[in-house]
Amino acid sequence: MSPSPDGTAGAPTGGPTRYDPQAIEARWQQVWHDEGTYQVDNDDPRPPFYVLSMYPYPSGPAHMGHVRNYTMGDLLVRYRTMRGDGVLSPIGFDSFGLPAENAAIKTGTHPRVHTDRNVEALSASLRRIGAVYDWRRVVKSHDASYIRWTQWIFLKFYEAGLVYRDNAPVNWCPGCQTVLANEQVLGDGTCERSGDLVERRDMEQWFYRITAYAQELLDDLDHVDWPEKVKVMQRHWIGRSEGAQFGLPVADADGNARTDVEPLAVYTTRPDTSFGMTFAVISPEHPRVDELTTDDRRADVEAFRASVAGRSDIERQSTEGTLDKRGVATGGRVVNPFTGQAIPVFLADYVLMTYGTGAIMAVPGQDQRDWDFAVAHGCDIVRTVQPPDDFDGEAYVGEGPAINSAFLDGMGVAEAKATAIAWLEEHGHGTGKVNYRLRDWLLSRQRYWGCPIPIVYCDDCGEQPVPVDQLPIEPPDDVEFMPTGRSPLTTHEGFLSATCPSCDGPARRETDTMDTFVDSSWYFLRFADPTNDELPFSADAAQRWLPVDQYIGGVEHAILHLMYARFFTKALADVGVAPKGLREPFQRLFTQGMIRLGGSKMSKSKGNLVAPEAILDDQGADALRLAHLQVKPPQEDVDWEDFGIDGCAKFLNRVWRLAVPGSDLAAGARTGDPTEADAEVDRATHRLVARITDEYDRWSYNTAIAGFMEFTNTLYRYVQADDGPHATTLDAAVDALLLVMAPAAPHLCADLWEARSGGHVHTEPWPTADPDKLVDDTVTMVVQVNGKVRDRLEVPADVDEATATALALACDKVVAALDGGEPRKVIARPPKLVNVVV
RNA sequence: GCUCGAGUGGUGGAAUUGGUAGACACGUUGGACUUAAAAUCCAAUGAGCAGUAAUGUUCGUGCGGGUUCAAGUCCCGCCUCGAGUACCA
């Protein structure tokens, strides 16, 4: 598919030069870089517009997923620049992380060396696909200048009470030798990175208090222009529920409520069904298990707790297994405050200590799981909502009037809830309560290649934040990587030993580092002010550029990165670092689909990567970019097998032969008065501009590429028609094509534009369409009989309804269908359609 | 189970408010150019039926109903595939 060695053999009679992607692409990449075409200063007079593609983990040269992502971002950067905006287009590298450390263990190469090498390789790839950035603003997570501010922000949050240390049951990945955040554990209980089965361990860990923002994180989703899918996922993850929390007094041997011990707190979303509570269930990890267990049941309870402790999370969460085996009676009883009845307390593994109060009221009449449990353990079942007459199921969870519920009887669910909560509050049993599924963000990792947590431990003063003037705390370079996978920080004396900032006595340093999602939670703010050495960024710079006008990335970050970055932005604003009014980091989000090969996601770990190099060497960057844009709507996943690189390369050749100065295709061009054919090409040119503008604006890149091709086909027919082209009409048409294609195929368009007109196509203003030229004088009107197309007529574009009707009724087909009779009805939608009903 | 999203020619897809279904591309076929091939250019290409042909005609957007003059598009009920989530009380 590469041009034939003798170059011009392919053109009808040959152009003065041939389309040589290698030569022009390298040259223009150099021009954009040397001239700083896409550098933008913070006092740029143009309207600010911030385009950001998620910064990549530097895993080596770009793969196809990168190409797709950064091509789309680049198209937008170039398009908005031509529209007259001062576009901030930064790039950086998410350069901390486990792969570099694993490589060090395997090959002995230091993660810093490995990472720097990969950053270089990836930077070079990005340049080679023609993506343009303000390279002065590069940010790398592992740079000392970035670590410093990541740690500074940690301390700022520490001061504000948004960071804390706690002993908690955590997710431990044996493969990664570190703990993971809840968000990094997949639904099947495996690590999202290594695929290993995640274990439960109790460890001292650091947390960001993201739950303090649960409600705001939920509410502000309404104010961002994001794909609904992503918003739904976040809402689900935050998991707000409204209900009531109240106490169940512990019962004595006679079943009376004791007043000398704390009632057992339960949380429910269905306080309206409380009269149907016939037992309670608590988590095996609940601190009051011992207290509630009677002596005769203690052996069974202990055995049950031991069996649960030995089970993995997946086993425990599976719905397999009979419920009687998954729960055990404690022998203890509590009192249902609504009925005054004593009810038994069970232990069951499905009650999680980490949600609500770790204890639930069980209402078998309205909850299927409670129903199953009640049947297995012989508990009473009382319906408190009247099911419809035709209901033949077990638990009824639908709407209906309350029954068997004293003062709630007859009320609907919503009213009964409110009344039950009011009753609880009035009698001091409890209150209405909102709960969230979202947990605090576990940020510590037992790894070397990450941002160290700036804390020291002093025997006398305890946990102490590192003074900010000692930042950054960098991971030391003189370390050995052990095949055990244990972080070398834990054995590095030079790193470990520190001085207590409070008493100047000896202290030891925290050896955990931060989750790399911490780094990516504020990098977009650093881009606004990347060299600031007083602050992570100035509020003014953030005010100018943030929120990001268009953020672009993979949907795989829908929960993790995007939730964390939102939290950081809000918290940074609240601690006075970011502008007060900056509540969201990314105003608009576009999530592009991933690339599959052989049915599975293309990824390094699957070993099914297609390297772009061979294509760049052969058909060139513009052809590869076009193929990515054309193959499918950008938000959808795509199979590599469906890419049409050759077709795109062929198309670029067609454009080249048409547009290159001295092209034989334009050789016989006429001058003088334009003909109707010329006027039609002129109108097509204006329609192209209008169409592409609209399609770029709504991310319909695949149809935009089709638009280029369609228009090019039109021009080929035009230049090869008997009359030949009109010189100025053709020039205007080709110029317009080069302008609208410039964001998509930048090298080719830049080269042709320079050859034709001089100057840089990418600094030209975006063309505008003349509205008067968007419609033809005549249009094709469809004539239908009973909704079926029977004829097509050329009519004036401004034909009125009466004329259109008359023309339609005069058609042979219509006359035949009417067979002398009158139409029952005529629907006229001039000038597009007339439908005759007979 | 729940929540989203998607099902259109041989293939990827197009059709923004209901108004010519299949743009554009790939593939295939034919023609031009060539000693030949490649490349290039031009043309045809949803399926069926009738016709030498121009053409005519029927069917056709996962399945079954419905609304409408008119449905890929709206409504109801299903099926299949994909994604997310999963005992969250």
DSSP string, A516-540: HHHHTTTHHHHTTSTT-SSSSS-HH
* Nucleotides in chain B near protein beta carbons (<7 Å): 3-5, 11-16, 19-21, 23-27, 38-43, 57-58, 69-71, 82-89
Stronger pLDDT, A243 or A175, i.e. the higher one:
A243
Whole-number Å distance, CA A634 to C1' B58? Answer: 38
The answer to whether the C-beta of A318 is closer than 7 A to strand B is yes
A 724-783 residues, CB < 7 A, strand B: 779-780, 782
Q: What is the pLDDT of residues A706-745, one digit of tens each?
A: 999 999 999 999 999 888 899 999 999 999 999 999 999 9
Beta bridge partners of A241: A435
**Tokens 């639904």 appear where?**
A187
pLDDT band at A3 (very low <50, low <70, confident <90, very high): very low
A 268-287 residues, CB < 7 A, strand B: 268-270, 283
pLDDT for position A314: 53
Residue A327 CA: distances (Å) to CA of A265, A352, A356, A379, A517: 19, 13, 19, 13, 38
- By mean pLDDT, which of A310-319, A571-580, A632-641 is the weakest? A310-319
pLDDT for position A666: 86
pLDDT for position A599: 62
pLDDT for position A12: 34
A 570-589 residues, CB < 7 A, strand B: none
Nearest Cα residue to A49 out of A728, A513, A588: A588
- By mean pLDDT, which of A47-61, A447-461, A656-670, A690-704 is the weakest? A656-670
Mean pLDDT for the stretch of residues A818-826: 82
pLDDT band at A10 (very low <50, low <70, confident <90, very high): very low
The answer to whether the C-beta of A4 is closer than 7 A to strand B is yes
Q: How many residues does chain A have?
A: 838
pLDDT for position A8: 33
Among all strands, which nt has the closest C1' to A706 (CA)? B24
pLDDT for position A1: 30
Whole-number Å distance, CA A753 to C1' B32? Answer: 32
A 200-219 residues, CB < 7 A, strand B: none
Whole-number Å distance, CA A615 to C1' B32? Answer: 31
* The token pair that represents A543 in the structure block: 């005010």
pLDDT for position A352: 86
Mean pLDDT for the stretch of residues A7-13: 34
pLDDT for position A600: 66
Among all strands, which nt has the closest C1' to A359 (CA)? B89
A 525-554 residues, CB < 7 A, strand B: none
Whole-prediction pTM: 0.92
Q: What is the pLDDT of residues A359-393, one digit of tens each?
A: 999 999 999 889 888 988 999 999 999 988 878 78
Whole-number Å distance, CA A787 to C1' B68? Answer: 11
pLDDT for position A173: 82
| Strand A778-785 relative to strand A833-837, pairing | parallel
A 588-647 residues, CB < 7 A, strand B: 630-633, 636-638, 642, 644, 646-647
Whole-number Å distance, CA A632 to C1' B9? Answer: 17
Of all residues in chain A, the percent with pLDDT exceeding 70 is 94
Region for residue A409 given its phi and psi (left: phi exceeds 0; alpha: psi -120 to 50; beta: otherwise) = beta
Whole-number Å distance, CA A622 to C1' B45? Answer: 30
The answer to whether the C-beta of A349 is closer than 7 A to strand B is yes
Asked if residue A170 has pLDDT above 80, the reply is no
Tell me: cis bond preceding A830? Omega within 30 of 0 counts.
Answer: no
For chain A, the straight-line distance linking the first and the last C-alpha, in angstroms and rounded, comes to: 57
pLDDT for position A464: 96
Tell me: cis bond preceding A472? Omega within 30 of 0 counts.
Answer: yes
Asked if residue A183 has pLDDT above 70, the reply is no
Of all residues in chain A, the percent with pLDDT exceeding 90 is 64
Among all strands, which nt has the closest C1' to A9 (CA)? B39
φ and ψ of A517, to 5 deg? -70, -15
Whole-number Å distance, CA A788 to C1' B68? Answer: 14
A 9-38 residues, CB < 7 A, strand B: 9-12
- Give the torsion through C-alpha atoms of A51, A56, A58, A62, to 10 deg: -80
The answer to whether the C-beta of A5 is closer than 7 A to strand B is no
pLDDT for position A607: 64
pLDDT for position A310: 64
Asked if residue A774 has pLDDT above 60, the reply is yes
Question: Which residue minimizes Cα–C1' distance to B57?
Answer: A790
Asked if residue A767 has pLDDT above 60, the reply is yes
Mean pLDDT for the stretch of residues A293-299: 94
Q: What is the pLDDT of residues A26-44, one digit of tens each?
A: 999 999 999 999 999 999 9
Stronger pLDDT, A530 or A825, i.e. the higher one:
A530
Residue A9 CA: distances (Å) to CA of A13, A663, A751: 8, 14, 21
Question: Which residue minimizes Cα–C1' distance to B20?
Answer: A782
**Tokens 């067609």 appear where?**
A654
pLDDT band at A6 (very low <50, low <70, confident <90, very high): very low
Q: Which H or E run contains A93?
A: strand A92-93
Asked if residue A7 has pLDDT above 70, the reply is no
Mean pLDDT for the stretch of residues A441-466: 93
Contact indicator for A22, A673 with CB cutoff of 8 Å: no
Contact indicator for A132, A80 with CB cutoff of 8 Å: no
| Strand A550-554 relative to strand A48-53, pairing | parallel
pLDDT for position A312: 58
Mean pLDDT for the stretch of residues A578-595: 93
Whole-number Å distance, CA A832 to C1' B20? Answer: 9
SS3 content of chain A, % helix, strand, coil (to 5): 40, 20, 40
Question: Which residue minimizes Cα–C1' distance to B33?
Answer: A12
Asked if residue A777 has pLDDT above 90, the reply is no
The answer to whether the C-beta of A784 is closer than 7 A to strand B is yes
pLDDT for position A390: 77
Asked if residue A9 has pLDDT above 50, the reply is no
Mean pLDDT for the stretch of residues A246-251: 95
Contact indicator for A78, A132 with CB cutoff of 8 Å: yes
Whole-number Å distance, CA A569 to C1' B47? Answer: 58
Question: Which residue minimizes Cα–C1' distance to B39?
Answer: A10
Mean pLDDT for the stretch of residues A187-196: 73
Whole-number Å distance, CA A142 to C1' B15? Answer: 49
Q: Spell out the residues 6+ positions from residue A61 whose beta carbon is closer than 8 angstroms to its own.
A: A121, A122, A124, A125, A611, A612, A613
Whole-number Å distance, CA A61 to C1' B79? Answer: 44
Among all strands, which nt has the closest C1' to A690 (CA)? B16
Mean of all residue pLDDT scores within chain A: 89
pLDDT for position A161: 96
Q: What is the pLDDT of residues A81-121, one digit of tens each?
A: 999 999 999 999 999 988 898 888 888 899 999 999 999 99
Among all strands, which nt has the closest C1' to A320 (CA)? B87
Q: Give the whole-angstrom CA distance, residue A457 versus residue A499.
A: 9
A 33-72 residues, CB < 7 A, strand B: none
Mean pLDDT for the stretch of residues A545-560: 91
Q: What is the pLDDT of residues A140-166, one digit of tens each?
A: 999 999 999 999 999 999 999 999 999
A224-238 b/e (C-beta count within 10 Å ≥ 16 → b): bebeeebbebbeebb
Q: Give the whole-angstrom CA distance, residue A458 versus residue A471.
A: 18
The answer to whether the C-beta of A6 is closer than 7 A to strand B is no
pLDDT band at A14 (very low <50, low <70, confident <90, very high): very low
Stronger pLDDT, A178 or A215, i.e. the higher one:
A215
The answer to whether the C-beta of A805 is closer than 7 A to strand B is no
Among all strands, which nt has the closest C1' to A353 (CA)? B88
- By mean pLDDT, which of A227-231, A265-269, A818-822 is the weakest? A818-822
> Which of A6-20, A574-588, A625-639 has the highest mean predicted lDDT (pLDDT)?
A574-588
pLDDT for position A667: 84
